[in-house]
Structure 1
Amino acid sequence: MPSKPAIILKSGRDKSARAKHPWIFSGAIERVSDEIKSGDYGQVLDKQNNFVAWGFYNTDSQIAVRLCSWRAADCDPKQLIKKNLQKAWHQRVNLFDEQTDNCYRLVFAESDHLPGLVVDRYADYLVLQVHSLGMQMMKDYIVDCLRDLMPQLEGVFEKSEPKYLSLEGYKGVSFGVLWGKEPPDLLTVLENNHQYLVDIKNGQKTGLFLDQKSNRRYLAGFARGKRVLNCFSYTGGFGLEAALSGADQVLNIDSSDACLQIGQQQAELVAQNVDFLKADVSKSLDLLAVENKQFDLIILDPPKYAESAKQIKRAARAYKDLNRRAMKLLPLGGYLATFSCSGAVDRKLFGQIVWSASLEAGADFAILEELHQSADHPVLLSFPESRYLKGLFLQRVS
């Protein structure tokens, strides 16, 4: 037995962990020292008691160990968390100009070696999603570290999702102010030097879909003089960027009245020629086709259609139907930006689905660009699961 409490892996089950994949599933574990309880930070050893990594253990989760470090010296979880938070902070500071962008993902969980922890910055507020038991146990310390990194902070707010915490066996408080002031109902932030209104407390996710930051900027470059249709618009981010970049007409469609109201407030402040429609997207696309409406640029950014591999077949059908409907509204030379945030649907399958939709639409498309999540959502080569957002920017060629 090892001299210190440890998590011992079965023979031959250390390969993935040594390749720096951050998850160890329960089936790979031979035994766990009695001293190690759920939420504890412990060392992982192979069958021969050789060091493999450090991580947070949880007997209630299918992911039994979430790894944080592959250095034997990183035995103090607080020092490791502080170091990884500082590293993540410096990486983001080098990505964005404070004068034009003050909203971004500061910590992206496993990709920043802080498994289960998401931290999003919105001006002088931080929003946390803490979806692992180990990070929940360290939450107060994490807030202290973040306050040291950002002395100008006005508040830290938690907005964790109970459905993920239930998988971790955590039943504590997961919503509300962790430190400082409560965020205002609508907070003004800057993205790409444009103002956005964010509802941190009641909006979807943490307030904005920050993973689309670079894609909003990229697609705006094709919007001048165009008729733009933004589907599943949320608060209208893609549409607002298009309008500010000279689009002739922008129509945002979403099923949430609250989200569209925020979008309308934004448009009144900074843009013209922006309309909002509360409706089902698929039904609206069919109706627009009946009315012989056409758009020069269409954005499809639907919600996650597949939570797991079991739902892939149904999701593929939904993606195909959605893209087929949109393709019929594009003239020759028109552009389609289509996305999937379903991690279970990989890039290759998504491309096949979109190609199948084009056949049913009776149109041919060329891929101009493959799109992905913004750089503040880094993808680790050792953790392909961190590449969840994929997109295709297409042009109709026949």
Structure 2
Amino acid sequence: MSASLKLKPGPSPRVQRGHPWVFSGEVTRLLPDEHNGREVELRDSRGRFMGMGLYNAKSQIIWRRYSRDKVAFDESFLKAALEAAIARRAPDTARRLVWSEADGLPGLVVDQFGQVLVVQALTAGMDQALPIITTCLQRLLSPADIVYRNDAPSRKLEGLETSVTTLSGNPAEAAWLMLDGIEFFIDLHSGHKTGFYLDQRAQHLRVAELAKGRRVLDGFCHQGGFALHCAKAGAESVLAVDISEECVQAARLNAGKNQLAVDFSVMNMFDWFTANRQENFDLIVLDPPSFARSKKSLDGALRGYKELNLRAMRMLPPGGILATYSCSQNVSPAQFMSVLAEAAGDARRDFVVIEETGQPADHPVLLTMPESHYLKGAILQLR
């Protein structure tokens, strides 16, 4: 019989409206540490069953729902959940196979790069279940190897250690992988996140459709996804900027491999805008890292997004295009669009919205969990 958590009486917490998380201050009492990482049922203040979740008293989020039904968190459940998640994805060279709560597997991320899988277990429950998860993935996909990228800082919030290992025991060697017609040198062992930003692949192609004959600035270029696709699409010129020397080196390597002409600069993007006020571009891409890693940093993040986009807007001529994005889960799509409107107002320029953008199908958004809708953006054109 599973242990049970009970919600405090009083105002309805978010979990009663469908959110999959419960915080420590929302329950009548905590459970002994022996339950950390294990399945626990949740009941409301009147004792009514609300679902099964993974418990961890070491985290502020003490309960994460994996099912609304009374289902054991065992091999049978994991096999079915993984099968369902994979079946929802279209076949591809590289794709996200599992996206945490959005797939009913809180804290589990699985990405596929060719014949290799990259797995992140970000919660205690998923960490404990890794042997079973590994067995299921082997049976379902027969990967050449599995890289366990358990080096995310968020693991520390769960009381977990960090490490990077492989199923084979052999180091995960960086290799070239063809993605959407361009070869990228992908480091699955020490590259950022799981090795590549799979969530922006569709936007790389969409923005490239607008790049022919234009002077392009790719801000926060990382491995050069936007820059390389724009160059391939026939941009007149492409300048890619990133604060990370390592990222610029990787992007330069990718450009050389694909014989694409791209100029690079290693510089803080805000500083670059300050130092190059008189520059003009026909297409500017802004894809920065998260500015709001917590709700406490939200106000500062919104100011940062506004200033960044304001500076870009001032560099565009009539007809110029700004493709701008935010991957901050604490910034809502409405807040991001509001910031862009404020920036345009301060720039005293009129932009029309070509389209608002979001996450691709393999990074699904759970309707009752705003945090799962982390990636948002807009493509704007100066009138």
TM-score, structure 1 normalization: 0.90
* Residues 1:255 and 2:246 aligned together: no
Please say if residues 306 and 345 of structure 1, whose CA atoms lie closer than 8 Å, have aligned partners that are also in contact. yes
- Structure 2 segments unaligned to the other structure (5+ residues): none
Deviation at 1:180, TM superposition (A): 5.5
- CA deviations over 1:106-129 (Å, ceiling 9, x no partner): 111000110011111111111122
**Is 2:214 aligned against 1:223?**
no
What fraction of aligned residue pairs are identical, expressed as a percent?
Answer: 36
Cα distance, 1:300 vs. partner?
Answer: 0.4
1:188 is paired with a residue of what secondary structure?
strand
On the 8 A contact 1:224/1:247 being kept in 2, the answer is yes
Aligned-pair CA distance for 1:16: 4.1
Query: Residue 133 of structure 1 corresponds to which residue in structure 2?
Result: 124
Partner of 2:83: 86
Say whether the 8 Å CA contact 1:155–1:180 is kept in structure 2: no
Distance 2:217 2:40 in 1: 51
1:181-200 equivalences under 5 Å are 181-184=170-173, 186-200=174-188
Q: Of 283, 296, 299, which aligns to 2:271?
A: 283
Q: Whole-Å Cα distance in 2 between the matches of residues 336 and 19 of structure 1?
A: 37
1:283-322 alignment runs, 5 A limit:
283-290=271-278, 293-322=279-308
Aligned 8 A contact 1:13 1:28 in 2: no
> Which one-letter code corresponds to 2:82 in the other structure?
L
Contact 1:155 1:182 in 2 (8 A): no
Structure 1 distance, partners of 2:168, 2:268, is 39
1:81 is aligned with what amino acid?
A: L
CA contact (8 A) 1:20 1:70 kept: no
Task: Please give the root-mean-square deviation of Cα atoms over the aligned residues, in Å.
Answer: 2.0
Q: What is the one-letter code of the residue matched to 1:51?
A: F
Aligned to 1:115: 106
Q: 1:317 deviation in Å? A: 1.7
Q: Shift in Å at residue 277 of structure 1?
A: 1.3
Partner of 2:301, secondary structure, is: helix
When residues 308 and 76 of structure 1 are mapped into structure 2, their CA distance, relative to the original with a 3 A threshold, is closer
What is the aligned counterpart of 1:387 among 373, 379, 383?
Answer: 373
**Structure 1 contact 14–46 (Cα < 8 Å) conserved:** no
* Residue of structure 2 in register with 1:50 after alignment: 48
Aligned ranges for residues 231-270 of structure 1 at < 5 Å? 231-270=219-258
Q: Does the CA contact (< 8 Å) of 2:184 and 2:254 recur in 1?
A: yes
Structure 1 Cα separation of the partners of residues 30 and 309 of structure 2: 49
* SS of structure 2 residue aligned to 1:289: coil
The amino acid of 1:27's aligned partner reads G
- 1:251 is paired with a residue of what secondary structure? strand
Aligned equivalents of 2:265 and 2:340: distance in 1? 25
Q: Taking structure 1 as reference, are residues 164 and 146 closer, same or farther at Cα in structure 2, changes over 3 Å only? A: same
Q: Cα–Cα, structure 1 residues 266 and 4, in superposed 2: closer, same or farther, change >3 Å?
A: closer
For 1:167 and 1:365, the matched residues in 2 are separated by 42
1:168 and 2:155 aligned: no
Question: Any idea what the Cα deviations from partners look like across 1:24-75, whole Å, max 9, x if unmatched?
Answer: 1122222466696111112223344432211111111111111100122x22
Q: Which moved more, 1:121-130 or 1:15-24?
A: 15-24
Describe the shift of the 1:266–1:122 C-alpha distance in structure 2 as closer, same or farther (beyond 3 A).
Answer: same
Aligned residues between the structures: 383
> Given that residues 292 and 298 in structure 2 are in contact (C-alpha distance below 8 angstroms), is that contact kept between their aligned partners in structure 1?
yes
Paired letter, 1:182: P
Task: Provide the residue aligned with 1:39 in structure 2.
Answer: 37
Deviations, residues 205-241 of structure 1 (Å, cap 9, x unaligned) = 1111111111111111111111111000001001111
Corresponding position of 1:77: 74
**In the alignment, is the contact (CA less than 8 A) between 1:5 and 1:35 conserved in 2?**
no
> 2-side partners of 1:359 and 1:309: how far apart?
26
Cα deviation for residue 202 of structure 1 reads 2.1
| Contact kept? 2:228, 2:260, Cα under 8 Å | no
Offset, 1:11: 3.6
Answering whether residue 311 of structure 2 is matched by residue 325 of structure 1, we say yes
Q: Distance in 2 between matches of 1:16 and 1:357?
A: 33
Give, in angstroms, the shift of residue 138 of structure 1: 0.5
Q: Which one-letter code corresponds to 1:250 in the other structure?
A: V
1:201 Cα deviation from its structure 2 partner: 1.8
